A = this chain, B = another copy of it.
Amino acid sequence: MQEKLRQFQRYLDKAGLKATRQRELIARAFFATTTHVSAEGLYRRVAGRHPRIGLVTVYRTLKLLKDAGLAHERQFGEGRALFEHASSEHHHDHIICTECGKITEFENYEIEALQEQIVRRLGFLIRHHKLELYGLCRECSAATGAGQGIQTAEAG
Contacts and interface: CB of A to CB of B under 8 A. Distances in A.
Q: Is the interface of A mostly helix, strand, loop or mixed?
A: mixed
Contacts of A126: 95, 133-135, 149
A115 B111 contact: yes
**Copies, count:** 2
A52 interface: no
A78 interface: yes
A146 interface: yes
Interface residues of A, number: 40
A136 B124 contact: yes
A110 B106 contact: no
Contacts of A124: 95, 97, 104, 133, 135-138, 141
Given A108-B114, A124-B136, A129-B132, 4 more contacts: A115-B131, A115-B133, A122-B137, A125-B150
